[in-house]
């Protein structure tokens, strides 16, 4: 894909929905991957699995391709447990499928599955409090004026393992944490990622995608009267 096309190519599911609403013919194919990734996270590097969907197709005959990370999970306590991450990934995925169908882009019901991972993690058990998606966090906190959500953002270098190859990627991730009624509520989101090797070209649009997604979350917090930090990637 040349730079002229890449500059205005769709990078989010909402871009596809908006194109269809504007009258363009939009086709969508979806491919799912659950990839092992080595995250170089501060002083505690760890192996996790990311739940990816690769979107491809055409808008008014013009081809596009992008990917979206729906969740990150690992079999230890360094991030959301993988047995919970698949649930979180599918919740966000179903919202995107509903948005595409509502815009007039027919897509089949799809979901991530841990079937290929059960052999490796036959004895997985949930640990601690269930992981939350952002809508869950909002449901827990809405209308509580005494609660404030702390937002922590990071650009985390990582190495994906795919088809016997290693691909250096940088992930824009965020954690939302709040205390209410003696309970701690926390959720994690992956907002965007880009090829570390092509940082100069790919980082700026990835920042735009991540910040657009963050902005929608902040709008939802404001809508329900939830106080929050407001910070963005740069």
Q: Which residues contact 85 (CB under 8 A, 6 or more apart)?
A: 49, 51, 71, 72, 73, 79, 131
Secondary structure in 3-state letters for 39-100 = ECCCCCCEEEEEEEEEEEEEECCEEEEEEEEEEEEECCCCCCEHHHHHHHHHHHHHHHHHHH
- The CATH number linked to 82 is 3.10.420
Provide the pLDDT for residue 78. 55
Final residue belonging to a domain, choices 80, 95, 124: 124
DSSP 132: B
Residues 18 and 61 in one domain: yes
Residues 162/174, Cβ–Cβ less than 8 Å: no
Asked if 3 and 118 sit in the same domain, the reply is: yes
Task: Enumerate helices (H) and strands (E) in the chain, giving the number of each.
Answer: 5, 7
Query: How far is it, in rounded angstroms, from Cα 181 to Cα 132?
Result: 17
Could you list the residue range(s) of the whole structural domain that residue 142 is in? 132-234
Question: Which residue among 92, 124, 156 closes a domain?
Answer: 124
Tens digits of pLDDT across the chain (234 residues): 333 334 468 989 999 999 999 999 999 999 988 888 877 765 667 778 888 899 999 999 999 999 999 988 876 655 677 778 888 889 999 999 999 999 999 998 888 876 655 444 444 444 445 567 888 889 888 878 788 999 999 998 888 876 667 889 999 999 999 988 778 888 888 999 999 999 999 999 999 999 999 999 999 999 999 999 999 999
What is the domain count for the chain?
A: 2
Q: Which of 124, 147, 176 is the last residue of a domain?
A: 124
Model pTM above 0.85: no
pLDDT for position 116: 52
pLDDT at 125: 42
- Residue 113 has what pLDDT? 77
Pair 129, 180: CB distance under 8 Å? no
If you ran DSSP here, which 8-state letter would residue 155 be given? Answer: E
CA–chain centroid gap for 137, Å, is 16
Q: Which residues does 36 contact at the CB level (< 8 Å), separation at least 6?
A: 47, 48, 49, 160, 161
Q: Do 2 and 116 sit in the same domain of this protein?
A: yes
Instruction: Compute CA distances 107 → 85, 90, 104, whole Å.
Output: 23, 15, 9
Same domain, 159 and 120: no
| DSSP-based three-state secondary structure for 36 | strand
């Amino acid at each position: 894909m040349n730079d002229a096309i890449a500059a205005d190519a769709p990078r989010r599911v909402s871009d596809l929905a908006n194109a269809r609403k504007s009258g363009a013919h939009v086709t969508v194919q979806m491919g799912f991957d659950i990839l092992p990734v080595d995250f170089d996270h501060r002083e505690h590097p760890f192996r996790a699995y990311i739940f990816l969907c690769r979107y491809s197709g055409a808008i008014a005959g013009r081809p596009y391709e992008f990917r979206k990370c729906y969740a990150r999970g690992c079999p230890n306590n360094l991030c959301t447990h993988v047995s919970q991450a698949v649930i979180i990934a599918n919740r966000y995925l179903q919202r995107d499928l509903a948005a595409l169908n509502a815009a007039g882009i027919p897509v089949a019901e799809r979901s991530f599955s841990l079937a290929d991972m059960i052999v490796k993690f036959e004895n997985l058990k949930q640990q601690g409090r269930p992981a939350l998606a952002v809508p869950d966090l909002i449901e827990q906190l809405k209308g509580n004026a005494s609660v404030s959500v702390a937002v922590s953002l990071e650009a985390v270098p990582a190495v994906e393992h795919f088809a016997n190859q290693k691909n250096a990627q940088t992930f824009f991730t965020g954690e939302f944490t709040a205390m209410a009624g003696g309970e701690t509520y926390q959720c994690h989101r992956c907002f965007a990622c880009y090829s570390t090797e092509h940082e100069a070209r790919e980082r700026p649009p990835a920042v735009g995608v991540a910040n657009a997604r963050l902005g929608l979350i902040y709008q939802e917090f404001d809508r329900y009267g939830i106080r929050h930090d407001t910070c963005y990637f740069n």
